[in-house]
Amino acid sequence: MRSVNELGKRINSESGYGLWATMFNKLEQYLFYLFLFSIPFQTRKILYFDEWRFNEWQSMSVYATDVLLAVLFGFWVYNFYKKLIYDLRFTIYGKNLKTLILNTKYLIRNPNFYLLAFLVISAISIKNSDNYLISWYQWFKLAEFVCFYWYLANYAFKKFGLFNSFLAIFISGIFQAVVAIIQFLRQSSLGLKYLGESVINNDFSGVASFYISDTEKIIRAYGTTPHPNVLAVFLLLSLFAFYFIFLNNKYSRNTRCLLLTAYAFILFGFFLTFSRVIILAWGIVFWGGIMIYHKKYRQEVKKVFLVTLAVASLFAIIFWPEILSRLTISGDDQAIELRSFYAKEALKTNINFFGIGFGNFMSWLIKENPFLSAYAYQPVHNIYLLIYAETGLLGISAFLLFLFFLIKNSIKKISQSPLALRSLLLALCLLFIGFFDHMFWTLQSGRLIFWFSMVGLTYYQKDDRM
């Protein structure tokens, strides 16, 4: 009788534990999807900013996405702490470390080796910084996003799957597109301050805008991001999420119509950002890559093509004066002049191994040019020049080698997985945009989008379906 009672208690205990484990896993899963949905939100607490005037790149903030990411990291460590401890001991005391050291050919071809080297070089470069506090804050942000990259590559995508991850990005893209469309029609913000929406109005200075006549000012769509270019990049990611979802699965007629309608909204919102370089990058990749012929999904490709053509044509008809204004680029265009100025300043930094210090470009620029207008103090609009200026020859070399071997390994997988091709196209798109903007290195949403997209180069499936 005693053994029967003990068995019953054990069963009840195990079933209770199983219920809690299931709830724990569900909580982690939903938090992960919430985090992906929240990538374009700028909700934050500003902790510190240098001098009396606020400057984005000389401030310290904690974002809501930082908090969510920290919680997700906690789940990651909790679920794998025993395995991590075992693997660490095995690596240190076992034969793996010896094998790794002897197998230098493998080591020098591993992208993670160069990423780790870049982290170390960036930390060393801070010895040259004028503002240690901001530099170390920026370095810890870099470490956070490198961990985010490893978290996705080694844990999250494997546990939660690509389909649901891209679905969360896609749904967030729909929300952002709707906000962008309403913002553009109103030519003002919607009051979504708790989601981090920028306060924009036709009467405000410093708002991203352009003119279609001497007096008619047009404000570009922001969504809940800090700049239309950031919104454009997130919607670009959402478009690729749609291509992943739609071109890798069979759906009922109603589901296909729903997905294509949502895609049309995202694409229209994407165009309302009027981000020239980003829309150009999407156009090249879409017409030259995404629409590559697939026998297996001939009808799906055709439908995407027709919807894209219809949305682009409708947008051109409605907003032709605005399009013409944005396509007209003169030599005295402020955006062109500032980009040229920042590039020249970045190349003026002393050529050395460690640069002027990670996260120190703004302090250095203010020191070198103390009499510029407040709005002109921005990072160089080129992530490669920015990395070179701050971390020197060693830093940019390590970063470029990381990208080189990441792309090289991805190219090898293209014949095995169509997913690898689309991931490569997305990554190349962002790397091209990086020549014209700094958002992937300096803004929260831009960083999350960049490292999320780079992970796609490490993940592939032999099966065409997700």
What percent of the chain is predicted at pLDDT more than 90?
A: 53
* 3 state SS of 8: helix
Could you tell me if 236 and 84 are in contact, meaning their C-beta atoms sit under 8 angstroms apart?
no
pTM: 0.89
* DSSP string for residues in 74-134: HHHHHHHHHHHHHHHHHHHHSSHHHHHHH-HHHHTT-HHHHHHHHHHHHHHHGGG-S-HHH
Number of domains in the chain: 1
Task: Say if 356 falls within a structural domain.
Answer: yes
d(CA 82, CA 93): 16
End-to-end CA distance of the chain: 52
User: What 3 state SS string does 371-429 have?
Assistant: CCCHHHCCCCCCHHHHHHHHHHHHHHHHHHHHHHHHHHHHHHHCCCCHHHHHHHHHHHH
What percent of the chain is predicted at pLDDT more than 70?
A: 85
For residue 1, the model assigns a pLDDT of 47
For residue 54, the model assigns a pLDDT of 81
For residue 22, the model assigns a pLDDT of 81
Task: Say if 298 falls within a structural domain.
Answer: yes
Lowest-confidence segment of 10-24, 54-68, 206-220, 344-358 by average pLDDT: 10-24
Mean pLDDT across the chain, nearest whole number? 85
Choose among 165, 300, 247: nearest CA to 418.
247
| Bridge partners, 210 (sequence order) | 218
Task: Say if 30 falls within a structural domain.
Answer: no
Q: What is the mean pLDDT of residues 354-380?
A: 88
261 vs 341: which has the higher pLDDT: 261
323 vs 104: which has the higher pLDDT: 323
Choose among 43, 61, 264: nearest CA to 170.
264
- Per-residue pLDDT band at 89 (split at 50, 70, 90): very low
Lowest-confidence segment of 9-18, 234-243, 326-335, 404-413 by average pLDDT: 9-18
For residue 65, the model assigns a pLDDT of 96
Q: Is the pLDDT of residue 333 over 70?
A: no
Task: Say if 391 falls within a structural domain.
Answer: yes
- Owner of token pair 């009808």: 299
For residue 6, the model assigns a pLDDT of 54
Residues 20-58: pLDDT tens digits? 778 888 999 999 999 999 999 999 999 988 766 788 888
Task: Say if 27 falls within a structural domain.
Answer: no
Could you tell me if 222 and 200 are in contact, meaning their C-beta atoms sit under 8 angstroms apart?
yes
Q: Is the pLDDT of residue 11 over 70?
A: no
Task: Say if 15 falls within a structural domain.
Answer: no
Residues 249-278: pLDDT tens digits? 778 889 999 999 999 999 999 999 999 999
Q: Is the pLDDT of residue 438 over 90?
A: yes
Give residue 220's identity as a one-letter amino acid code. Answer: R
- Per-residue pLDDT band at 393 (split at 50, 70, 90): very high
Give residue 416's identity as a one-letter amino acid code. Answer: Q
Could you tell me if 412 and 454 are in contact, meaning their C-beta atoms sit under 8 angstroms apart?
no
Task: Say if 5 falls within a structural domain.
Answer: no
Indicate the DSSP class of residue 288.
I
Could you tell me if 123 and 139 are in contact, meaning their C-beta atoms sit under 8 angstroms apart?
yes
Give the structural domain span for 235. Answer: 111-455
Task: Say if 44 falls within a structural domain.
Answer: no
Of the segments 1-10, 46-55, 150-159, 453-462, which one has the largest average pLDDT value? 150-159
